[in-house]
Structure 1
Amino acid sequence: MGRKAGTGAEPMTIGEIISSVADGEASPVRIEAYDGSSFGPAVCPLVVRLVSPEALQQFVLAPGDLGLARAYLTGSIEVDGVHPAAPHDIFGALEILRKKMAHKPDLATALRIAKSVGLKNVNPGVPVPEMEVMPPWRRALSGLQRHSKERDSKAVSYHYDVSNKFYEWVLGESMTYTCACYPNAGASLETAQENKYRLVFDKLGLKAGDRLLDVGCGWGGMVRYAARRGVHAIGVTLSKEQASWAQAEIEKQGLGEFAEVRLQDYRDVPEGQFDAISSIGITEHIGRDNYSSYFGKLRSLLKPGGLLLNHSITRPENSRTTKAGAFIDRYIFPDGELAGPSIISAEAENAGFETIHSENLRPHYAFTLRDWCKNLEAHWDEAVEEVGLPMAKLWGLYMGACQYGFETNVIQLHQFLLVNLDDEAGKSWTVPLRPWWEA
């Protein structure tokens, strides 16, 4: 371990700098620096190596998750003890350091740290891998209103039009990019995704001959599930790759009589009087200011007494609405916003829906991300060949961070079952008196 910070004016080693702001003996991670110094236990399953001064510069310029992501993607830090497809454990270790062990140095030590780091010379610029994975449209957004149809289309395309082959390796056979529902902790990912579709189908009370609209339908998993049971299902997505893949799969499975997936904004759906609507993972993309119009539009597409199943990532509290962190917003979900469950249900109710049932599937999303990380690890070489090392590392980092977030209640996943009250002020109760589906 590096020397403890002294009182002299000599430059501090990296190990000394870290030791001056954290208690190291019980550290869950060992940090080894390019100057030969270190911090943390001599023997530790997790080792973070700072291989160049650019690592520190990235942390100084962009404190928090963005600096960590930049340093990791540029290779100025390396992590031993975890696979790049699933760097989940490192987040827990770094959070322990940040929340439980870190403390502010005294003024003299802080000045020595600044001098040792050489802040006047810090200017690593934007890392090349960031330019490779950043969408070009983010450099020309001034003329696009946030959550306008054009901007939403570009944002969705950036995230989902990566490569269908890449998504097949990560998501598995179901091609389902939303939280699964595990009947038990040992269930497979495919079993859990099929069970999720079964749960949504049953909650919506669908039966042969009904009409279903699936907004933000992804690769059409819910649409095909419903169509195989005789439901006429339309799915809409803003991703060209998703729409193309989904429609081809519909034809491949002989479901064209019942199923259709369109490249279309949910705001432009011309039909109405659907028996049910499923919205699985779209609320995160529409923006807090648009919740009212979102639920209003969906209600206008439902027949009186029709049901809406809204499935989305949420915050664990309701005092604020937050945009995604700097790393997620810059690299993963541009313009994404999350809100607490009560905010979402209140907006739905203000739009004229009545809440029948809600539940939190937070542990299920942690399991889902765990299994996606395993899939990426199993196909790592193919994924790197398909999308490049920066993008493959980016997805491992993103999914590992999200898995940790769901495990530690930083984020949750809620399903709301809502009924479209009729025009007679809700006098007619059109659903069974008690829940009619199996958990």
Structure 2
Amino acid sequence: MTTFKEDKTSTGNGVGKLSIAEILEAVVGEDIPVRFSAYDGSSTGAQDAKYGLDLKSPRGTTYLVTAPGDLGMARAYVSGDLEATGVHPGDPYEILRVLGDQLHFSRPSAKELAAITRSLGWELLKPVAPPPQEHLPRWRRFAEGLRHSKTRDAEAIHHHYDVSNAFYEKVLGPSMTYTCAAYESPDQSLEDAQDNKYRLVFEKLNLKPGDRLLDIGCGWGGMVRYAARHGVKAIGATLSAEQAAWAQKAIADEGLSELAEVRHSDYRDITETGFDAVSSIGLTEHIGVHNYPAYFEFIKGKLREGGLLLNHCITRPDNKHNARAGGFIDRYVFPDGELTGSGRIITEIQDVGLEVRHEENLREHYALTLAGWCRNLVDNWDACVAEVGEGTARVWGLYMAGSRLGFERNGIQLHQVLAVKTSPKGDAGVPLRPWWKA
């Protein structure tokens, strides 16, 4: 902890005005694992450290002190008021790893807090407008409708997915797949791993030519097109207008229009039934935990007897924590997103009467996937910034690098759960042992 010194600027209690670097030391101690410098000329931390942080403006200080934690850091970083040195803004993974491993916050004493407040001055403690990339806080979203209503879900999806198809093409690569890939080895290419993921889902669902598939939250139609290439009639639904337009063009360009369709539609508006299989790849995170019973009941109603469900989603490593996302994720990435453990998801699937046959955790695969997306963002940084602006590109680099670290450290997971709609007599109509190549 920094030592407060007496000087001529003392306000009467023996404590003088602190520099920004001294304030940081008061909060995290003097053993800071990165170089830190601030606009007031002060600095601290290991001067020979590979990575650094440069606080460039008073506004950045205001962001940090008025929204402590990941939200304040994100605001300062996205706005460009806080620069990370030694890393590319498209992939700040390494500095996040070092900070996560070695930076430990402590609670300043009342005397220290008073000194920090006087040193900053009241002007820097007044909240200022956040970067334009930030979504409204939860309590101000009621104008968009009740949480997880159709209108509010549509707005949340629009915020994240209707950024720019050209931007996503640069970041996601040719597959245009924004979900966890399935790697056969760590050095497999991102594109091959995404194709392998679709192959895995297709085989788990035991699909055959002539079968019917419903893909809920289909994104740019990757699963729909994969199924159609293998003779399956597939319908996809997405709340993103840009995704639907891109997917329909891709379907036409591949000559798959007789078998495949992607609709700009809420999944709840799909009227067809009797599907042989339903895939839900990366949508459950947007549903809301309290809506799981209705969601899985809806899916059950879409399946024929013997039909299969494959639910693929990000999960927490336990079933105890609050489902809501943290400040940065909720405001910048997935408004209203919620995560829970795989046990809760399996329970809700079982409670609507579907039989769970298999589940597996692919969290290491998602870390590899995110690393691949970050490489794409770095390689295409100038084009991405030209397309969406530097602030939005920074959001994506920060989000993907931080998420990679979360999957590596088992802070979040990715589970696939396979279930079947049995007959009234319990017939499942599936082979005795797993029928797919792992």
* TM-score bracket for this pair, using the shorter chain length: over 0.9
**What is the alpha-carbon distance in structure 1 between the residues aligned to residue 245 and residue 293 of structure 2?**
30
Secondary structure at the aligned position of 1:356 is classed as strand
Shift of residue 32, structure 1, vs aligned partner: 1.1
Shift of residue 137, structure 1, vs aligned partner: 12
Which blocks of at least 5 consecutive residues in structure 2 are unaligned? 7-13
**What is the alpha-carbon distance in structure 1 between the residues aligned to residue 246 and residue 138 of structure 2?**
24
Which residue of 1 is the match for residue 5 of structure 2? 6
Contact 1:164 1:245 in 2 (8 A): yes
**What is the alpha-carbon distance in structure 1 between the residues aligned to residue 388 and residue 213 of structure 2?**
35
Which blocks of at least 5 consecutive residues in structure 1 are unaligned? none
**What is the alpha-carbon distance in structure 2 between the residues aligned to residue 135 and residue 122 of structure 1?**
21
Which residue of 2 is the match for residue 375 of structure 1? 376
Tell me whether 1:40 sits opposite 2:40 in the alignment.
no
**What is the alpha-carbon distance in structure 2 between the residues aligned to residue 123 and residue 330 of structure 1?**
20
Q: Give the stretch that moved more between structures: 76-85 or 86-95.
A: 86-95
Contact 1:3 1:15 in 2 (8 A): no
Secondary structure at the aligned position of 1:207 is classed as coil
Secondary structure at the aligned position of 2:237 is classed as strand
Secondary structure at the aligned position of 1:142 is classed as helix
Q: One-letter code of the match for 2:111?
A: A
Which residue of 2 is the match for residue 18 of structure 1? 24
Which residue of 1 is the match for residue 11 of structure 2? none
Shift of residue 138, structure 1, vs aligned partner: 9.4
**What is the alpha-carbon distance in structure 2 between the residues aligned to residue 182 and residue 239 of structure 1?**
28
**What is the alpha-carbon distance in structure 2 between the residues aligned to residue 373 and residue 121 of structure 1?**
34
Secondary structure at the aligned position of 1:32 is classed as strand
Matches within 5 A, 1:205-224: 205-224=206-225
Q: Give the stretch that moved more between structures: 191-200 or 30-39.
A: 30-39
Tell me whether 1:438 sits opposite 2:437 in the alignment.
yes
The two structures, once aligned, show a CA RMSD in angstroms of 1.9
**What is the alpha-carbon distance in structure 2 between the residues aligned to residue 132 and residue 290 of structure 1?**
28
Secondary structure at the aligned position of 1:313 is classed as strand
Matches within 5 A, 1:245-284: 245-284=246-285
Which residue of 2 is the match for residue 356 of structure 1? 357
Q: 1:3 to 1:291 in 2, by over 3 A?
A: closer
What's the CA shift string for 1:106-143, capped at 9, x where partnerless? 3322321222122465225113xx22564899966336
Shift of residue 147, structure 1, vs aligned partner: 0.7
What's the CA shift string for 1:355-375, capped at 9, x where partnerless? 111111001111111110110
TM-score by structure 2 length? 0.94
Which residue of 2 is the match for residue 95 of structure 1? 100
Which residue of 2 is the match for residue 197 of structure 1? 198
Q: 1:136 to 1:336 in 2, by over 3 A?
A: closer
**What is the alpha-carbon distance in structure 2 between the residues aligned to residue 244 and residue 121 of structure 1?**
46
Q: One-letter code of the match for 1:18?
A: L
Contact 1:22 1:97 in 2 (8 A): no
Q: Residue 84 of structure 1 is aligned with which of 66, 89, 98? A: 89
Secondary structure at the aligned position of 2:395 is classed as helix
Q: 1:408 to 1:136 in 2, by over 3 A?
A: closer
Q: One-letter code of the match for 1:431?
A: V
Q: Give the stretch that moved more between structures: 33-42 or 164-173.
A: 33-42
Which residue of 2 is the match for residue 71 of structure 1? 76
What's the CA shift string for 1:61-88, capped at 9, x where partnerless? 1111110111112222111111111111
Shift of residue 239, structure 1, vs aligned partner: 0.7
Which residue of 1 is the match for residue 157 of structure 2? 156
Contact 1:28 1:96 in 2 (8 A): no
Which residue of 2 is the match for residue 60 of structure 1? 65
Tell me whether 1:105 sits opposite 2:111 in the alignment.
no
Contact 1:321 1:340 in 2 (8 A): no
Q: One-letter code of the match for 1:389?
A: E
What's the CA shift string for 1:341-361, capped at 9, x where partnerless? 100110000011111111110
**What is the alpha-carbon distance in structure 2 between the residues aligned to residue 96 and residue 136 of structure 1?**
29
Secondary structure at the aligned position of 1:110 is classed as helix
Matches within 5 A, 1:402-417: 402-417=403-418
Q: Give the stretch that moved more between structures: 357-366 or 53-62.
A: 53-62
Contact 1:133 1:390 in 2 (8 A): no
Shift of residue 5, structure 1, vs aligned partner: 3.1
Tell me whether 1:117 sits opposite 2:123 in the alignment.
no
Contact 2:420 2:428 in 1 (8 A): no
Tell me whether 1:293 sits opposite 2:299 in the alignment.
no
Shift of residue 321, structure 1, vs aligned partner: 3.8
Q: 1:138 to 1:264 in 2, by over 3 A?
A: farther
Q: One-letter code of the match for 1:6?
A: K
Contact 1:4 1:19 in 2 (8 A): no
Contact 1:250 1:260 in 2 (8 A): yes
Contact 2:37 2:44 in 1 (8 A): yes
What's the CA shift string for 1:153-204, capped at 9, x where partnerless? 1211221111111100000000000000110000000010000001001111
**What is the alpha-carbon distance in structure 2 between the residues aligned to residue 45 and residue 367 of structure 1?**
24
TM-score by structure 1 length? 0.94
Q: 1:252 to 1:224 in 2, by over 3 A?
A: same
**What is the alpha-carbon distance in structure 1 between the residues aligned to residue 432 and residue 328 of structure 2?**
45
Q: One-letter code of the match for 1:322?
A: A
Q: Give the stretch that moved more between structures: 237-246 or 31-40.
A: 31-40
Contact 2:144 2:155 in 1 (8 A): no
